[in-house]
Amino acid sequence: MDHTPLVRIEVCIWTSPVSEPEAIFLLLNNCFLFDGKQIFGNAKILNSKTKRPLEIAGIPMADIFVKNETATASGTLKHRFVWALTMWAVVEGKITSTSTVYDSTSGNTGASEAYMCRLIGVPYVAVVAKELEEEKVRQITQFGGQIMKPLSARGEILGKWAIDHISELTKVDVETRNYWAERMAAERGGCFINQFGNANAAEDDHESGNYPLESTNVFHEIASQLKSRGFGLPHYFVHSAGTGGTISSVGKYITRYALPTRVLLADSQHSLYYDYVVYQKYGNLSAGDEGRPGWAPPGIAGIGYGYNTAPIVFRRSTSLLRTVIDEVVRMPDTATVAAMRSLRGVLDIDAGPSTALNFLVALFKAHAHSEGSEATSEKDRFSVVLIMGDPGRFYQSTYLNDTWVDSKMARYGGMEAIRCWQAKIDEAIRSGRNFAENTCDISITSS
Ligand SMILES: Cc1ncc(COP(=O)(O)O)c(C=O)c1O
């Protein structure tokens, strides 16, 4: 095996900003928003517009910690995962110095894969949907990645569900993109790195001998950061699942070390993950999963199980390990898009839609704790950690664009529904009123 690429990846261990102070934390509680630079001096960051401390006045007894993964070199939560995935592929000899790497991606993984491939000196091709946001295409190409957009399905027989819903599959579905990535790699002697199928295998490579922390597992880093600042472990870790790799990696870490933190999956409105985790549904290959409900585009970018027409099979079409998830909360997509706008408007945080969903679920739990049967006492503050996966600016042409929302989310009431939710979420942040009361369209489902 050619050892050179491995050496180059080790360079990445040392230079990855994941380990640097700048990459660290935003702390959102009732008065602070920290980033890495200030957190060591324990200073408050001021809202850049109002020049006042940021406040979530409505939930004074809750701390919401936001792990800001957008500060990584390739700009999203996928940087850490793709580091491990690339390390795994090199160590196992799947990538050699002559390989071209192929993968199917909805953008963020592709940008990190392009970054890592450039580090180790091999070409990278991202197979993407033709509708992929231009901002994300630029993220991939800026690190030297090439783009391939399959225009149609592969012409093979799709499952019955896919045929019945073919008109809804406006994006080339994940299974088809995977097919093309795998096929091109096979025909050209390259490596289909398969983020969906291999995330679980890559997990072992989070352990990293001479790294400043013992592990690059994101929850290990979170726990160390909280401890060093005098905080205990959080009551909840909230994250949404695309491949399921991140939340499963955290869930396994928490299970392995018997930590008290509960793992909460934040799911989107039409995603099948809720039923997969709670009821173990949609994984039956022989039945073809014909009974599954229709997918409603656009969904929430990067997360949920919807565009993939294949059954949900662990280590094949998903890396979501259902046994390490404690709870699932599913939110309406319009509420998530509204939360993205509330984060920008009220808290001056530029976050993408999956982060907004995580935030909304954290807010929902914080209200449940302050109001209902889950109430905590004064001395037992409620705390949640969530991940900021990517920045809102990637979505200027989509979720932040009113015309796009009116056209793509028309079936839910478009901007009218978004404005209704946004008013409720703004109010929840400011006064603590429960945004989930008298919802704007459909109800919230929680396990
Ligand atoms: C912005 C964003 N958030 C969340 C996720 C989900 O993470 P995972 O694929 O590890 O489940 C992704 C996946 O690409 C993402 O791009």
232 SS3 class: coil
As a whole number, mean pLDDT of residues 378-390 equals: 80
Task: Compute the distance from residue 391 Cα to the ligand 1 centre, in Å.
Answer: 12
Report yes or no: 100 and 170 within 8 Å, Cβ to Cβ: no
Q: Which CATH number fits domain 75-204: 3.40.50.1100, 3.50.50.60, 3.40.50.1000, 3.40.50.300?
A: 3.40.50.1100
pLDDT at residue 92, rounded to an integer: 85
Tokens at residue 166, please?
């073919």
pLDDT greater at residue 29 or residue 434:
434
pLDDT at residue 68, rounded to an integer: 81
Burial label for 443, CB within 10 Å (0-12, 13-18, 19+), is exposed
pLDDT at residue 293, rounded to an integer: 81
- Enumerate residues lining ligand 1, CB below 6 A: 76-78, 81, 108-109, 240-247, 302-303, 352, 354, 389-390
- pLDDT bin (cut points 50, 70, 90) of residue 424 is very high
Angle between helix axes 353-371 and 333-347 (nearest 10 degrees) is 90
Rounded to a whole number of angstroms, the distance between the first and last alpha carbons of the chain is 48
Beta strand pairing call for 62-68 and 25-28: antiparallel
For ligand 1, pick from 66, 76, 78 the residue to mutate: most ligand atoms within 8 Å of CB. Answer: 78
Tell me the C-alpha distance between 398 and 402, whole Å. 8
Task: Compute the distance from residue 388 Cα to the ligand 1 centre, in Å.
Answer: 10
Q: Which atom of ligand 1 is nearest to the CA of 108?
A: 16
Task: Compute the distance from residue 302 Cα to the ligand 1 centre, in Å.
Answer: 5
Report yes or no: 375 and 54 within 8 Å, Cβ to Cβ: no
Return the DSSP state at 205: G
Q: Whose CA is nearest to atom 15 of ligand 1?
A: 302
Q: Is the pLDDT of residue 299 over 50?
A: yes
Residues paired with 26 in a beta bridge: 66
Among 360, 364, 335, 334, smallest CA distance to 347 is for: 360
The architecture CATH gives domain 22-71+217-282+318-446: 3-Layer(aba) Sandwich (3.40)
Shared fold status for 22-71+217-282+318-446 and 75-204? yes
Report yes or no: 178 and 194 within 8 Å, Cβ to Cβ: yes
DSSP letter string, 33-47: ---HHHHTTTPPPBP
The predicted-structure confidence for 168-213, as pLDDT tens digits, reads as follows 444 557 778 888 899 889 988 899 999 988 877 776 655 544 444 4
Lowest-pLDDT range, 88-92, 333-337, 354-358? 88-92
Residue type, 30: N
Among 401, 332, 329, 432, smallest CA distance to 58 is for: 432
Tell me the C-alpha distance between 369 and 382, whole Å. 7
- Give backbone dihedrals phi and psi of 146, rounded to 5 degrees, phi first: -100, 155
Most confident of 92-101, 157-166, 417-426: 417-426
Report yes or no: 281 and 275 within 8 Å, Cβ to Cβ: yes
Q: Is the pLDDT of residue 286 over 80?
A: no
Return the DSSP state at 71: G
pLDDT at residue 444, rounded to an integer: 58
Domains of the chain by residue range = 22-71+217-282+318-446, 75-204
Q: Which atom of ligand 1 is nearest to the CA of 246?
A: 10
